[in-house]
Amino acid sequence: MPESPPSGWLPSALRRLEHRLGAQRDDRTLWVWTVPAVTVVVTFVILAFLGMQGKVDLFLTIPMALVLSVFLGSLSAFYLTAASSDERDVDDDDRRPPRPAPPDGPPSLPATRLVSPSPGQMASQPRAEDPVAVPVGGPSRT
């Protein structure tokens, strides 16, 4: 007995979201979306609890917990999109033209000319490794 596709507004909304994000997951289960949802809820609960334990005002705790939980949940959702894209990229290798073979022999390097300064120029310019005299102590009184 074959399974019927889930009905209702939530599965169709999740499929539309997947298509907008570029994840072609029509043949996959929708249960993967529980991970971002659980991430949002657990992050909100933990941050709200920590804010109350730290005696932070609820006026500050609730928005902080809401913003950070939505941020982490969206990262989790984008990871699902990237994982789906990576799986599709593996299949795309069959349609790509083969790479050209590397040339035989050592690679040719362009000839460059290095200009070195004369010894007289080197002695007149200070170098970074030369010691610098630093006065020790306070100003001298005479």
| Residue labelled with tokens 């657990």 | 42
| Averaged confidence pLDDT in the chain | 75
pTM of the complete model: 0.50
More confident position, 28 or 122: 28
pLDDT-derived band of residue 1, with 50, 70 and 90 as boundaries?
A: very low
Q: Which of 36, 40, 62 is nearest to 51 (CA)?
A: 62
Report if residue 128 sits inside a domain.
no
- Over range 93-114, report the average pLDDT: 68
Report if residue 50 sits inside a domain.
yes
Report if residue 45 sits inside a domain.
yes
Contact criterion met (CB below 8 Å) for 45 and 73? no
The C-alpha atoms of residue 77 and residue 71 are separated, in whole angstroms, by: 10
Number of domains in the chain: 1
Contact criterion met (CB below 8 Å) for 81 and 25? no
- Over range 14-40, report the average pLDDT: 78
Q: Which of 86, 78, 67 is nearest to 17 (CA)?
A: 78
Domain containing 37 equals: 9-91
